[in-house]
A and B are shown apart, each in its own frame.
Chain A
Amino acid sequence: MSQPRVLLAGNPNAGKTTLFNRLTGSSARVGNYPGVTVECSAGTLRCDDTLSVTLMDLPGTYSLSARSPEERVAVDAMFASGEAAPAAIVVVVDALALTRNLYLALQIMETGLPVIIALNMMDAARDAGLAIDSDLLSAGLGVPVIPISATRREGLPELRAQLARTLHAGGAAGEVPVVRYPGAVEAAVATVTPAIAAFKPDASPQAARALALWALLSLGDDELVAIPSALRDAAASARARAEESATDLDQAVIAARYAFLEEVVESAVTRPSAQRRTFTDKLDALLLHRVSGFVVFATVMYVVFEALFSWSEPMVGVIEGGVVSAQDMVNAALPPGALRELLKDGVIAGVGNVIVFVPQIAMLFLMLGFLEDSGYLARVAFLIDRVMARVGLHGKAFVPLLSGFACAVPAVMATRTIESRRDRIATMLALPLMSCSARLPVYVLVIATIFSGEERVAGVFSPGALVLFTMYLVSTLATLGAAAVLRRTVLKGPRPALVLELPPYRRPEWRTLLRSTWERVRSFLVDAGTIILAISIVLWALLTYPKSEEVHARYEAQRSELASVADESERASRLEQLDAAEAGEQIRKSAAGRVGLAIEPVLQPLGFDWRIGVGIIGAFAAREVFVSTLATVFGISAGDEDATPVREALANASHTDGRKLMTPLAGLSLMLFFVFACQCMSTIAVVKRESGSWKWPMLMFGYMTTLAYVVSLAVYQLGSAFGWGLG
């Protein structure tokens, strides 16, 4: 027999994750709820010697009411049938904001399912001088109330024991709390209840009543799917009838619940006579201050940025070194041939493409987890919301956008902190325009090709630095503009209001942080990693095959001539040159080379030729690969570590008609192309992972590529028309 299921519910910031970790230890596993991109942790909880249950962590929520499929997860979990049906629900409530936290608990109690209330933060409540009589609370609510402090591990044995008692009692529910709803609400419930059978056929009469209330509050302006039309119609007609009698059903239901809770809480809670200034109040005076607040804000953001940009660098180096040694091992172990190339340049390089993101993802999620769990992330949103609101984004979009300067992959994953799906997707689709660190090698190569280091503009600024700065400025403006456009077009909808809780400051727990960071890394490796690996291998194959036998035979002949060269090192270096030159000719014959040649007419109006086209195709693996692909195209041997030979080759390259390829104007066009183009399979893979469908990454790829083409075209054509940059 499988273990009974117990759900863990609670408000955000009520300490649910900490309690979950305390109760399940290392047994927790993370999965996804079917159909939505909402994560769900489950673990084993031992109640006593004979009874173990599967504890499932529901997403933190203030209420069961749902407008989106994501918000419906809790209701569906509660009314799951068969083995998935919950045997009991533990609701974690924050003792410091008791009435509001009990609102969710009351909604759950109304379903008639067995509920246990874990009254958390009791230590903090005591410190605040708050006396809560849990027996009175329990009597008033009609369910067991166990005072606990999850962080201090207080009350956990009692909670387990209570769970065992509840389950051994056969899951008999306690009394259902009697909320006195006004007549108009009762009439509406009577209208809707018969239609519940079409929605949740297994619901008990009590549950059907609770679901009728849920439907009255949730349906109407929602985006829920798979709601039977009978239920929709019933809810709509009940609402219409209430409107005739000038009753706001939402308000009537919510007010009746709060009236009930206030009575219970008043009987059980004794407040301190004088309100003390809390630690949070004092810290907020500093951190939300118009001067010191922004100083701290800028410092914190700088640290996040620095961590992503530089602190992860040594680890990235180690990974890249590991990839090279693995390739060397394969090189030594296998005979030359297609299999060796596949393993070395396809598979191992592809795996490298995946794990190279891990340091940045881990770093960002450690930082983000710290900011979120400490309560500061909500303050970041509070401080910066004004700016974000301008472009139709949520204050919480700031950290993901900023992280986009380092790398879009962890940044897209960081959008999870944004609750509204529309806001989250808009942020996700706009942020790859932020100029990430992988674009830098491309800028650097082009700038070094088109400018000499000595020129100065206005005496002080080097033109290269000015251009580089312009690229970052353009990318930032483009990101904000794209977000604004997305929110007004494909992601149009009622502008979701900012309703942000500023939770009390708390000390984050290292174990929780490490665990959630590991979960992020794991889900990236499993879900996005497989896509990245697959595309890596396909790209490698496109750039490698088909091979020209004729070219190969020609170079083999030249190689055999080298046998007469007596000097060992001379011969080795000549051989290397030959290899590079052959690779350069072969890439032209490869599928990617043919595509590059075929699309040359499309690229010429931008100032590019087929070689840049092949570079752009190769750069789809990762933007910085542009440099090494160009090296191959130009027949430069791989032994040259720095980009100098590529730069020289690029500077000397000319179109077939003899015109210079990399004029300053063409360089500018190329850099702008890289600012806008979605040249990154990993971003596409991670957006697929986070949005749950291919539709969004395809839209992103489409709009970014179009934008890149149009901007480069306009710049190159206008520039040429005005005669700029031909020198």
Chain B
Amino acid sequence: MAPTLPVEQLDSVPVGRSATVVSVACDRATARRLMELGLLPGTRVDVVRVAPMGCPLELRVRDSALSIRRVEAARVAVQLLPEAAPVRPAVSPSVGHAAR
């Protein structure tokens, strides 16, 4: 059983850190689009950078760079991974693994 990490919003994850998605609570169309792009509960997401004007964010999800606005990121709940976590694991943990 992994230690329970506090849940926070994706937009508060510092640049350069990684997190595991807990839930995607955007409006249905956006949530579906994000999930179909692989941003699912249990997926690892890296916060790569913030646009110079403070919005949107650049994320790395399943080997591709995705950009979403802060409003949407605020509705994605995540658990921050420890800083030492290796950059991009071989395969991002799936839903099943997260429940273990």
Contact between B51 and A499, CB atoms less than 8 A apart: no
Contact between B69 and A389, CB atoms less than 8 A apart: yes
Mark contacts of B46-63 with chain A using CB atoms, 8 A cut-off: 1 yes-contact digit, 0 otherwise: 000101111110100111
How far, in Å, is B69 (CB) from chain A's closest CB? Answer: 5
Contact between B51 and A386, CB atoms less than 8 A apart: yes
A103, A386, A496, A497: the one contacting B38 at CB < 8 Å is: A103
B90 proximal to A (CB < 8 A): yes
Q: Given contacts A499-B66, A500-B66, A500-B67, are A258 and B51 in contact (CB under 8 A)?
A: no
Among B30, B37, B87: residue with most chain A CB under 10 A: B37
Number of A positions contacting B (CB below 8 A): 49
Contact between A382 and B63, CB atoms less than 8 A apart: no
How far, in Å, is A180 (CB) from chain B's closest CB? Answer: 10
Query: In whole angstroms, what is the CA distance A501 to B63 when docked?
Result: 11
A208 proximal to B (CB < 8 A): no
A221, A251, A383, A496: the one contacting B24 at CB < 8 Å is: A251
What residue of chain B has the Cβ atom nearest to residue A222's Cβ?
A: B29
Q: Given contacts A100-B63, A220-B28, A498-B69, are A382 and B40 in contact (CB under 8 A)?
A: no
Contacts of A284 in B (CB 8 A): 49
Q: Given contacts A65-B32, A497-B26, are A255 and B53 in contact (CB under 8 A)?
A: no
A199 proximal to B (CB < 8 A): no
Among B2-10, B77-85, B91-99, the stretch in contact with A? B91-99
Contact between B66 and A502, CB atoms less than 8 A apart: yes
Contacts of B34 in A (CB 8 A): 499
Contacts of A320 in B (CB 8 A): none
Contact between B33 and A258, CB atoms less than 8 A apart: no
Query: In whole angstroms, what is the CA distance A67 to B30 when docked?
Result: 11
Give residues of chain A (185-243) contacting chain B, Cβ–Cβ below 8 Å.
Answer: 217, 220-221
How far, in Å, is A385 (CB) from chain B's closest CB? Answer: 5
Contacts of B38 in A (CB 8 A): 99-100, 103, 258
Contact between B35 and A251, CB atoms less than 8 A apart: yes
A65, A497, A502: the one contacting B58 at CB < 8 Å is: A502
Contacts of B28 in A (CB 8 A): 220-221, 250
Contact between B41 and A251, CB atoms less than 8 A apart: yes
Contact between B72 and A497, CB atoms less than 8 A apart: yes
A97 proximal to B (CB < 8 A): yes
Query: In whole angstroms, what is the CA distance A119 to B94 when docked?
Result: 23
How far, in Å, is A494 (CB) from chain B's closest CB? Answer: 6
Contact between A293 and B52, CB atoms less than 8 A apart: yes
Contact between A290 and B24, CB atoms less than 8 A apart: no
Contacts of A522 in B (CB 8 A): none
A492 proximal to B (CB < 8 A): no
Mark contacts of A501-545 with chain B using CB atoms, 8 A cut-off: 1 yes-contact digit, 0 otherwise: 111000000000000000000000000000000000000000000
Give residues of chain A (71-122) contacting chain B, Cβ–Cβ below 8 Å.
Answer: 96-100, 103
A448 proximal to B (CB < 8 A): no
Query: In whole angstroms, what is the CA distance A387 to B53 when docked?
Result: 9
Contacts of B35 in A (CB 8 A): 250-251, 254-255
Query: In whole angstroms, what is the CA distance A293 to B53 when docked?
Result: 11
Among A259-267, A339-347, A597-605, A657-665, the stretch in contact with B? A259-267
A149 proximal to B (CB < 8 A): no
Contacts of B58 in A (CB 8 A): 288, 382, 502
Contact between B63 and A497, CB atoms less than 8 A apart: no
Contacts of A21 in B (CB 8 A): none
Among A67, A290, A382, A499: residue with most chain B CB under 10 A: A499
B27, B53, B67: the one contacting A502 at CB < 8 Å is: B67
Contact between B62 and A288, CB atoms less than 8 A apart: no
Contact between B33 and A383, CB atoms less than 8 A apart: no
Query: In whole angstroms, what is the CA distance A82 to B71 when docked?
Result: 46
Query: In whole angstroms, what is the CA distance A100 to B24 when docked?
Result: 17
Contact between B29 and A221, CB atoms less than 8 A apart: yes
Query: In whole angstroms, what is the CA distance A275 to B36 when docked?
Result: 25
Contact between B29 and A496, CB atoms less than 8 A apart: yes
Contact between A100 and B67, CB atoms less than 8 A apart: no
Contacts of A479 in B (CB 8 A): none
Query: In whole angstroms, what is the CA distance A498 to B69 when docked?
Result: 6
Contact between A290 and B52, CB atoms less than 8 A apart: yes
Contacts of A383 in B (CB 8 A): 51-53
Contacts of B56 in A (CB 8 A): 382, 385-386, 395, 498, 500
Contacts of A103 in B (CB 8 A): 36, 38
Contact between B37 and A62, CB atoms less than 8 A apart: yes
Contact between B55 and A386, CB atoms less than 8 A apart: yes
Among B27, B29, B88: residue with most chain A CB under 10 A: B29
Contact between A275 and B65, CB atoms less than 8 A apart: no
Contacts of A98 in B (CB 8 A): 63
What are 11 residue pairs bridging A and B, where the CB atoms are less than 8 Å apart in the complex? A98-B63, A100-B61, A221-B28, A251-B24, A254-B35, A254-B36, A382-B67, A385-B51, A497-B69, A499-B66, A500-B67
Interface set of B (CB-CB < 8 Å, partner A): 24, 26-38, 40-42, 49, 51-56, 58, 61-69, 71-72, 87-88, 90-92, 94-96
Q: What 13 new A-B contacts, CB under 8 Å, besides A289-B52, A382-B56, A501-B37?
A: A97-B62, A250-B35, A251-B24, A255-B35, A259-B94, A262-B91, A265-B91, A284-B49, A288-B51, A288-B58, A385-B67, A395-B56, A497-B72
**Top 8 A-B pairs ranked by shortest CB distance?**
A290-B52, A386-B53, A502-B65, A497-B30, A500-B67, A97-B64, A63-B36, A254-B35
